């Protein structure tokens, strides 16, 4: 049954007591996001408010007998109950239909439906500028637009997922999903079709809300592996000393901690009890999970800084015949003026591969051997530009160049 003018589907479930009406209503709510109105609950509220003298603590268990007795003894009470019931149902339907749609909830629905702002505005039949203003809190939506929001939520089963909806912009979400699935960053990168650095950035800062496509992919993975928002864990600042203290206070053996953390014994000992400078985020997640299962104390919450890779020597970390030494200005001046093999022969301390890598890294054009006439030619970039590009990759104290240095 649909209420005229609202485009809202209303399902009536009736039957004898004990036939499973409430169970069926809860299943419809769970699977399809319906709003359930229980007449039993309304009847208990009606008796408590209007006829408190005949209210019973166990009224929910004898509602049918109680109603039949009241209807036979006080006929006017039947009309009062019918009026109260109709008014309460209309209020709950109105609240369910025109539920408060905050800008954050509307934006969450848009992300859940996989729509951009232009497509979302088209669904609501409003200009995109008005939708942007509403998301900023500068305007309101009409009842017609709220009804369209409700229709979109029902079509996309938004309310079914809303209770366990995951905010992937939270830095914990993507990381905890990977740990729940037993993945490392390269595994998640291959699954999502993104670069390794993108996944590590999501672990540190969260997935941007503009990435609708990846939000949908992450939601699908979460459903497949039965991961929900209740499995998000904060970062706890574990130390080797606190791990030993927590294990001692819990009264559990090391083997029990290893099983509770779903890790191997060697990995647990190396990551949690070893002599590493710090316990990384992955190991802290496993320790937190084990402590929660065993009822052990937890360290204070905090922010675990991701491990940063030290900068590689320029260029590409390649070492020449004499080791990774700083290139001098007279060496840089030869790049691009002769074939790379000839430059390597003249320098003596640089290999052909090192010369080629440095020239390409500085953006200099090469001189093919078949076109070389035997004499140096001007390089494709001025020497000042070459030196400036080189300084960007080498510290100034490692690259002393005098302005009057002769090349």
Tens digit of pLDDT at every position of the chain (407 positions): 444 444 456 777 777 666 777 777 777 766 655 667 777 777 777 777 776 766 666 565 666 666 666 666 666 777 777 777 777 777 666 555 545 577 877 887 887 777 778 888 898 899 988 888 888 878 888 878 877 887 787 777 675 555 456 888 888 889 999 988 889 888 999 999 898 889 988 988 889 887 878 888 898 898 888 887 767 888 888 888 888 888 888 888 888 888 888 777 777 777 677 756 678 888 888 888 888 777 788 888 888 877 766 555 554 444 433 345 678 888 888 998 999 999 998 888 888 888 888 888 888 888 888 878 888 888 888 888 888 888 776 544 444 443 334 44
Q: In angstroms, rounded to a whole number, what is the distance separating the alpha carbons of residues 129 and 135?
A: 10
**Left if phi > 0, otherwise alpha if psi is -120 to 50, otherwise beta: which for 25?**
alpha
Q: Is the dihedral of CA 331, 334, 335, 341 positive or negative?
A: negative
Residue 398: how many CB atoms within 10 A of its CB?
Answer: 9
Strands (DSSP E) found in 10-88: none
Identify whether the C-beta of residue 261 lies closer than 8 Å to the C-beta of residue 254.
no
Question: What Å distances lie between residue 394 and 266, 299, 313, 315, CA to CA?
Answer: 40, 41, 8, 10
Place of tokens 């208990």: 44
């Amino acid at each position: 049954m649909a209420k005229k003018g609202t485009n809202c589907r209303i399902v009536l479930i009736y039957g004898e007591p004990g036939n499973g009406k409430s169970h069926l209503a809860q299943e419809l709510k769970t699977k399809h996001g319906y709003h359930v109105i229980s007449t039993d609950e309304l009847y208990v509220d009606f008796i408590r408010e209007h006829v408190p003298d005949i209210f019973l603590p166990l009224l929910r268990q004898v509602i049918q007998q109680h109603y039949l007795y009241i209807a036979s003894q006080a006929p006017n009470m039947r009309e009062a109950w019918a009026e109260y019931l109709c008014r309460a149902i209309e209020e709950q339907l109105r609240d369910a239909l025109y539920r408060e749609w905050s800008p954050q909830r509307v934006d969450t629905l848009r992300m859940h439906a996989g729509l951009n702002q232009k497509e979302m505005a088209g669904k609501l039949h409003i200009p995109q500028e008005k939708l942007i203003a509403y998301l900023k809190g500068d305007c309101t939506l009409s009842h017609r637009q709220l009804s369209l929001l409700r229709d979109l939520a029902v079509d996309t089963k938004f309310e079914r997922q809303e209770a366990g909806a995951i905010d992937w912009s939270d830095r914990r979400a993507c990381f905890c999903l990977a740990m729940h699935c037993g993945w490392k960053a390269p595994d998640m990168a291959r699954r999502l079709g993104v670069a390794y650095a993108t996944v590590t950035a999501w672990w540190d800062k969260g997935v941007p809300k503009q990435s609708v496509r990846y939000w949908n992919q992450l939601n699908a993975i979460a459903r497949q592996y039965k991961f929900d928002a209740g499995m998000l864990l904060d970062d706890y600042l574990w130390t080797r000393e606190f791990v030993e203290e927590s294990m001692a206070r819990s009264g559990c053996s090391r083997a029990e901690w290893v099983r509770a953390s779903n890790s191997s014994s060697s990995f647990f000992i190396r990551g949690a009890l070893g002599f590493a400078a710090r316990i990384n985020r992955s190991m802290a997640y496993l320790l937190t999970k084990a402590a929660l299962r065993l009822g052990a104390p937890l360290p204070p919450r905090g922010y675990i800084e991701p491990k940063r890779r030290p900068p590689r020597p320029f260029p590409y970390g390649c070492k020449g015949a004499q080791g990774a030494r700083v290139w001098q200005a007279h060496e840089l001046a030869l790049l691009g003026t002769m074939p790379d093999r000839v430059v390597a022969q003249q320098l003596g301390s640089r290999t052909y591969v090192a010369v080629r890598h440095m020239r390409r890294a500085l953006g200099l054009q090469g001189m093919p051997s078949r076109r070389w006439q035997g004499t140096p030619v001007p390089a494709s970039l001025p020497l000042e530009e070459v030196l400036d590009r080189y300084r960007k990759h080498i510290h100034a104290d490692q690259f002393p160049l005098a302005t009057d240095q002769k090349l």
